[in-house]
Amino acid sequence: MSLDSKIPSGPLEKKWDDYKSHIKLVNPANKRKYTIIVIGTGLAGGSASATLAELGYNVKTFCFQDSPRRAHSIAAQGGINAAKNYQNDGDSVYRLFYDTIKGGDFRAREANVYRLAQVSANIIDQCVAQGVPFAREYGGHLDNRSFGGAQVSRTFYAKGQTGQQLLLGAYSSLSRQIGLGNVKMYPRTEMVDLVVIDGHAKGVIIRDLVTGKISVHAGDAVVLASGGYGNVFYLSTNAKGSNVTATFRAYKKGAFFANPCYTQIHPTCIPVSGDHQSKLTLMSESLRNDGRIWVPKKQGDTRNPADIPESERDYYLERKYPSYGNLCPRDIASRSAKEVCDAGFGVGPGGQGVYLDFSSAIQRLGEHTIAERYGNLFQMYEQITGENPYKVPMRIYPAVHYTMGGLWVDYNLMSNLPGLFVIGEANFSDHGANRLGASALMQGLADGYFVLPYTIGNYLAEVGFGKTPSTDHAEFKKAESDVNEQTNKLLSIKGKRTVDSFHKELGKLMWNNCGMARDEKSLKEALTKIPQIRDEFWKNVNVPGSGAELNQSLEKAGRVADFLEFGELLCLDALTREESCGGHFRTEHQMDDGEAKRDDNKFCHATAWEWKGVGAKPTEHREKLEFENIKLATRSYK
């Protein structure tokens, strides 16, 4: 089957406006006759649910947390980009578009990214109108800061809690619609299967996480806004509940999974402290505005950092990338940190760390200014490590952060399964092989507030109302019985190992063999070992309790079962893509100076995988990426 991206014709800057002017509309009186199911309440799902309900659709929204306010978008710290040019420093829609395409190493779809840059300015307007307390200048106007991968200040922020404030904005709009009865909200539930009827997504199977009850829900369209899959690595900056289940089960029902090997490694995380470590904590990228990254020039130098004179410090990012310096993109900063640590220059226990040093900024600006900019982050760092970053430099190391791959979608944000829309981190479309800072929040809200509400209407108008299937349909019955069967199987194994022990084993293998650097040998090894871990899981896992109660082990078991299949897909994708780009670094493909070496002749495409069964090789489909407006260039931040 060919992948039709449905990119509208015409000049890049007019595509979206022309598209909006020509799409089919649903009569306002008919909107309430449609039911839309939304999975997830982060920036994408929350904003989409609120907006679709405002438009008049019937919306049913599901989240696994106890409240829609707790979605993982809340943890984003640094900011959100928008091409407002408030700083008069030369920003424009085109420049934001170009930076994002270049940041993604020319592996994103041009038309989607341009649209993202276009609507970015509306997002800020919308959020301010909702009462999001963005940082302000003394004159009362909005403040901006700069972020990695850009040479303009276009990042809007609310202290170090931008994700929280944007999410609370979307949550408040969602709450308003729940209060009005336009959204039926189902917290503490999990989507465990997608129902496809005659090739169209028409419903979901839901497990109530408190009672264990399975329920079926039919709709005219299903929107997945369920986030990314970084927890396949076990240790990541993702919340513990973040999982691949909704997208993976949709994949098993026929939706294509695109570019799963594109996982972003964030350069500024707090290093691992021991085997008990359950997750990694990110220090906002905004810290790189004032923090300088360095390691000692001498290998294995264990001196107190204050005792190491300037002349014996290697500010390696400033040395290697003089124009971007500490603000080079995440993949480059991460790889550079790994390089210096692998070469024996790392600091802290185990040598897996580099310094992020604020001493010169504190000298220049005073502790008060630094505290005002990053106070809560410094506090968090001290809480976790027991060290005061005002006095000693922070220690940081890269960690898995964001996943750019996801279900394949066309320009309408619709997957290859009609009626299944995928938005935010759950889709693959906007970030290419690498995500620049402050662009995930932008995409989540762009999709939810300003893109999906148009494109889904076009689909619904074509399908027509009154076509919602009955939940008595055989596909619902089958999906429901499959779900019950899997639950019973997990509970009946009664083996010797815990779910977490399998997750940790998989995660370690993924990080070592398919982490910041991958090669043919490591990937082939992972592809041999993952099925072995999976086999053992299904023979030897111990899930206590029953399916008819709040059972956190059972929840985890279902998700880890999916990661054990998904991990294999991720490694297969990484093996197939014989080039280096952004967050996907194949050591066989690098320049003489260690920079990533793309192969535009062979790999200027998105890879979308089609499920063929457990252990069977999925079918590869390719969407060729056409760059009409940008000349593919070697990415340079020097």
Partner 1 sequence: MDLKLKVWRQKNSKEKGKIVNYDAKGVSPDMSFLEMLDVVNEELIVKGEDPIAFEHDCREGICGSCNIMINGEAHGPLPGVTTCQLHMRTFKDGDTIYLEPWRAKAFPVLKDLVVDRSAFDRVIQAGGFVSINTGGAPDANALPIPKKDADVAMDAATCIGCGACVASCKNASAMLFVSAKVSHLALLPQGQVEKKERVKNMVNAMDKEGFGNCTNQYECEAACPKDIKRDFIRVLNKEYILS
Give me the least distance between CB of 172 and partner 1, in Å please. Answer: 4
Residue in 249, 180, 223 with CA at minimum distance from that of residue 47: 223
Q: Which two tokens stand for residue 119?
A: 């609507």
Give me the least distance between CB of 175 and partner 1, in Å please. Answer: 5
Residue number with CB closer to partner 1 (383 or 492): 383
Residue 103 burial by Cβ neighbours in a 10 Å radius (0-12, 13-18, 19+): buried
Residue 561 burial by Cβ neighbours in a 10 Å radius (0-12, 13-18, 19+): buried
C-alpha angle 580-116-563 in degrees, rounded to nearest 5: 50
Q: Which two tokens stand for residue 417?
A: 């399964």
Residue number with CB closer to partner 1 (283 or 328): 283
At 11, give phi and psi (nearest 5°).
-65, 150
SS3 state of residue 86: coil
Give me the least distance between CB of 134 and partner 1, in Å please. Answer: 7
Give me the least distance between CB of 47 and partner 1, in Å please. Answer: 8
Give me the least distance between CB of 127 and partner 1, in Å please. Answer: 8
**Annotated catalytic residue, options 330, 534, 598, 635:** 330
**505, amino acid identity:** E
C-alpha–C-alpha distance, residues 105 and 121, integer Å: 24
Three-state secondary structure readout of 315-379: CHHHHHCCCCHHHCCHHHHHHHHHHHHHCCCCCCHHHCCEEEECHHHHHHHCHHHHHHHHHHHHH
Please report where in the chains the tokens 């190491």 appear, as a residue.
308
Residue 491: CA count within 13 A, CB half-sphere: 16
Give me the least distance between CB of 592 and partner 1, in Å please. Answer: 40
C-alpha–C-alpha distance, residues 312 and 2, integer Å: 57
Q: For residue 311, how far is the Cα from the chain centroid?
A: 39
Respond yes or no: is residue 330 known to be catalytic: yes
Give me the least distance between CB of 122 and partner 1, in Å please. Answer: 7
Residue number with CB closer to partner 1 (241 or 346): 241
Residue number with CB closer to partner 1 (54 or 525): 54
Q: Which two tokens stand for residue 400?
A: 């898995």
Which residues of 187-330 form beta strands (DSSP E)? 189-197, 200-208, 214-218, 221-224, 257-258, 263-269, 292-296, 313-314
User: Would you say 49 and 174 are in contact if contact means Cβ atoms under 8 Å apart?
Assistant: yes
C-alpha–C-alpha distance, residues 334 and 317, integer Å: 10
Residue number with CB closer to partner 1 (108 or 380): 380
Residue number with CB closer to partner 1 (212 or 305): 212
Residue number with CB closer to partner 1 (174 or 340): 174
Residue 600: CA count within 13 A, CB half-sphere: 12
At 520, give phi and psi (nearest 5°).
-55, -45
Q: Which two tokens stand for residue 506?
A: 């998989």
Residue in 550, 477, 530, 462 with CA at minimum distance from that of residue 24: 462
Residue number with CB closer to partner 1 (250 or 270): 270
Strand partners, 35: 58
Give me the least distance between CB of 389 and partner 1, in Å please. Answer: 15
Cβ neighbours for 74, distance < 8 A, ≥ 6 positions apart: 42, 163, 164, 167, 168
Give me the least distance between CB of 212 and partner 1, in Å please. Answer: 11
Residue number with CB closer to partner 1 (61 or 580): 61
Give catalytic residues, as residue numbers: 330
